[in-house]
Structure 1
Amino acid sequence: MRLLLISNSASPGEGYLEKASKHIQEFLGKQSLNIVFIPYAAVTYSYEEYEEKVNKRFAAFGQRVVSIHRAQRPIESVLRADAIVVGGGNTFMLMKKMQEMGLIDAIRERVKSGAAYIGWSAGSNVACPTICTTNDMPIVQPRTFEAFNFVPFQINPHYLDTHPSNHGGETREMRIAEYLVANPDKWVVGLREGCIMKVEGNSINMIGEKSARIFKHNIETKEINPGEDFQFLLK
């Protein structure tokens, strides 16, 4: 499999997918591809608006996405795709809509048979075994939390180290610790904004300037930098 799992689409002061753009371009290559876009995490804006937003960035390196909502036969469109791009937004809405459209198995099959997969935020969450480490509010109820299971670990995108002042609630680290008590066999990668994980076959690397925070129950939390060994996550 070939996966590009991106923590976030943009940070303050950046354009949409600006920081990730060069990595997406390198990952997809120079040949024009049939790229299917999954916009279903969008809630407060239309699928057309989302498609246009992504295409403005992809056009800069000669690629174009076509949103799955335009397809008369969505499953066939997925199975013919050279690459599948899953945008961020609300993870629960994304899962529910993909389940309703019958796309979970189709996307899983196509990616495992060679199509490139790019996801950011919610799109990186659904590459994991489940969506249980998303930050999103469950505004809708999918049939199951089980996702694509492209990687055997969980991702927490937009990972934050800080505890906001005058906030008495749990930190992100405390929330992940709760998950790990309930799921002690799982690794969780706290993917800070600006970080990207690239999986190619049995190889996994992290791109970006920040380290990732790696969690597992009863194991000391690790900080792993780009260029260091992430292979244990795939075992």
Structure 2
Amino acid sequence: MRLLLISNSTNAGEAYLAYPMPRIGEFLRGVREVAFVPYAAVTFSYADYERRVQARFSEFGIRVRSVHRAADPAAMIRRAEAICVGGGNTFALAKKMQEQGLMRAIRNRVKAGVPYVGWSAGSNVACPAISTTNDMPIVEPESFRAVGAVKFQINPHYLDANPEGHAGETREVRLLEFVAANPRRYAVGLREGCMLRYENGRLELLGSRPMRIFKKGLTPYEVQPGDDLSFLL
């Protein structure tokens, strides 16, 4: 498998996809066209999303074709040279992907070695389930089941603290609840500006910030870029 799972598309104060684009270009070197899944978009159109991503991917000579234009989106995935899934609302994304049979189609293609790039919700759906999303359930998917390209759960945009004056649960508390309810599964807090790359059987944390690890029975702890992450596989 070849996976590039990105926490967020855009760092504060930067242009869209500015920080991950060099890594995406490197990861997709030699790819001429990607099948793009835009279904996490809610307040703007799929066509707008396609155009926005195309504007950045054009820098590397890569054509972006959105599955929303295909008569048979799953067939488009089965023929894809590479697959890209954008961020937005994870529930909206999962619902549409399940309706169109894209979860299974992507799983099969990824297992066959087709490169997969996702950010935010697009990284979350690469996990076994969407249960560690930050998003509101604005629509109801068939289930929480997702692609399952990796065996662990990702919480994108991971934050260490609540805003000042907020007394609700921290992100850590919510992830501790997840691992308590799912004791066999690891969850990782992937901070903004970071990504996970899986190639040649090796999982690597990229970025300048550590990643937080959650597992039932373990005190949450940090791993650094360059650390051995084979335990997650």
Q: TM-score, normalised by structure 2?
A: 0.98
SS of match in other structure, 1:13: coil
**Considering only aligned residues, what root-mean-square deviation do their CA atoms show, in Å?**
0.9
Q: Secondary structure at the match of 2:219?
A: strand
Which 4+ residue blocks in structure 1 deviate beyond 2 angstroms? Answer: 31-34
Count of residues in Structure 1 that have an aligned counterpart in Structure 2: 233
Structure 2: which 5+ runs fail to align? none
1:12 paired to 2:20? no
- Displacement of 1:108 in angstroms is 1.0
Q: Report what 2:111 is aligned to.
A: 112
Question: Deviation at 1:33?
Answer: 2.2
Write the deviation string for residues 8-50 of structure 1: whole angstroms up to 9, x where unpaired. 0002111111000000011001x24231000000000000100
Match of 2:211 in 1: 212
- Corresponding residue number in structure 1 for 2:46: 47
Contact in 1 for aligned 2:32/2:61 (Cα 8 Å): no
**What are the equivalent positions in structure 2 for 1:54-133 lying under 5 Å apart?**
54-133=53-132
Deviation per residue, 1:119-138 (Å, 9 max, x gap)? 00000000001000000000
After superposition, give the CA deviation of every residue in 1:146-191 in whole Å (9 maximum; x if it has no partner): 1111111000000000221111110000011111111111111100
Q: 2:186·2:213 contact (CA, 8 Å) conserved in 1?
A: yes
Q: Counterpart of 2:133?
A: 134
Counting only pairs closer than 5 Å after superposition, residues 143-182 of structure 1 correspond to structure 2 as 143-182=142-181
- Aligned mates of 1:151, 1:197 — CA distance in 2: 11
Distance 2:226 2:89 in 1: 31
**Secondary structure, counterpart of 2:126 in structure 1:** coil
**Which digits, 9 at most, give the CA deviation of each residue in 1:164-220, with x for residues without a partner?**
111111000001111111111111110000011001142100111111011111112
Structure 1 alignment gaps of length 5 or more: none
